[in-house]
Amino acid sequence: MTTHDTRPGSTGGEDTPGPLYGGPDEDYTPERLAGMSREDLDRLGARYDGVEILHVDPGPEPGSRLEKRAVRQVGLAFTLAGVFAFLFLVVYAGSGWFLPEWNWAEEGTTWSALFTPLLGLFMGLSLTMVGVGLVLFTKKLLPHETAVQDKHDGSHFDRVTTGATLVGGLHSTGLARRKLITRSLGFMGAAVGVMLLAPLGGLIKNPNTGNPLGRTSWAEGVRLLRDDGSPIRPGDQEPGSLETVFPEVPGGNLQSDAATMLIRLRPEQVLQDEPREGQADFSYGDYVAYSKICTHAGCPVSLYEQETGRILCPCHQSQFAVTQGAKPIFGPATRSLPQLPITVDDEGYFVARSDYIEAVGPTYWNRERI
């Protein structure tokens, strides 16, 4: 009698009629295997694999009250997982749309304080209910057996019987007839999948859209406001004084890159005859406005010596000449502070004529605006 090689990687006689080496005591041809039921193949494979079943718990009787109660519990857990994932998406995507917009502030709103904790809460509850549902499904609905199995090489016989075992395992879950679990599992999978993918939107979105590193909120007609939100007219400041101003936009006084120094010169202070190119008319009378961000390392420039007309950075002692277009005259800074073009509107309040024409901040952003 001819036998066939059944080592791993071989066809194991699948393409040739005849007995198979490696099978049980009897000879099982591919034709005979094809004619056997899944249950018979499963049992045959177990017997051939040397499986010794020590204990079998078939699970609840189909249609019994015990099974129905377990199905409801598992379905509820999966449904709650989907609901919590959906609530996560509502909070995450709804901010600034149909929910209040989240903004960081030292004294933020209740919504701003709850935004991040709510995201963590709903994601944690969703994933917890996924785990609860899987544990309940495994413990209360799946059959359980304890068995010992010897390990051996593979063949066509192994593949056929193992496939039957895997299909039998799927059949034993009862998902085909337990529609509540199937539907809740689908809802949960969709909601949790979207929940886990949603935060990736922050990575997919191009952060350079609109040139955020080269632009601020200043624009033509935007008023200059004090930190308390009040506008400024010429004459509100004493000669030789400095006022920190912000753009009249939502959250303007929280935007560090928009902080600007509005300085009123003393009568004896005269601006240089040759200002920087394209900035001849950026001042208004005896008022000039410069960025508050030092061009060395980005520290807030906050000191002004009115007697010498010098703006000082407290971090590394850079000094800028206010009458020379905020040109650096001492310290590590090598670039002038950007100047904001200003004028007054019809009501006599200071407004910007445009945004800064050069990037604010440290020298490494020194490049042409786009």
Every domain of the chain and the residues it spans: 1-205, 211-370
pLDDT at 79 over 90: yes
pLDDT at 10 over 70: no
Place of tokens 């509850």: 125
Q: Of 21-30, 125-134, 196-205, which gets the smallest average pLDDT?
A: 21-30
The tokens describing 364, both together, are 């490494």
CB 74 within 8 A of CB 131: no
CATH 3.40.50.2000 assigned to domain 211-370? The reply is no
What does the pLDDT average to over 134-160? 74
Alpha carbons within 13 A on the beta-carbon side of 198: 18
188 or 276: which carries more pLDDT confidence?
Answer: 188
Q: What is the pLDDT of residue 11?
A: 45
Tell me the per-residue pLDDT of 218-259, one tens digit each, with 9 for 90 and over.
Answer: 889 999 999 888 999 998 888 888 999 999 988 777 777 888
pLDDT at 132 over 90: yes
In this prediction, residue 289 has a pLDDT band, given cuts at 50, 70 and 90, of very high
In this prediction, residue 67 has a pLDDT band, given cuts at 50, 70 and 90, of confident
Spatial distance between the Cα atoms of 191 and 283, rounded to a whole number of angstroms: 56
What does the pLDDT average to over 184-211? 73
What does the pLDDT average to over 255-266? 87
Spatial distance between the Cα atoms of 234 and 8, rounded to a whole number of angstroms: 90
Q: What is the pLDDT of residue 153?
A: 57
Contacts for 185 with CB less than 8 Å, ≥ 6 apart: 78, 133, 175
344 or 33: which carries more pLDDT confidence?
Answer: 344
What SS3 state is found at 26?
coil
Place of tokens 């949960």: 188
What does the pLDDT average to over 193-212? 67
Q: What is the pLDDT of residue 17?
A: 47
- What is the overall mean pLDDT for the chain? 78
In this prediction, residue 285 has a pLDDT band, given cuts at 50, 70 and 90, of confident
156 or 330: which carries more pLDDT confidence?
Answer: 330
Q: Of 7-11, 307-311, 329-333, which gets the smallest average pLDDT?
A: 7-11
Helix (H) or strand (E) holding 42: helix 38-48
Spatial distance between the Cα atoms of 111 and 101, rounded to a whole number of angstroms: 8
Q: What is the pLDDT of residue 103?
A: 58
pTM of the model as a whole = 0.48
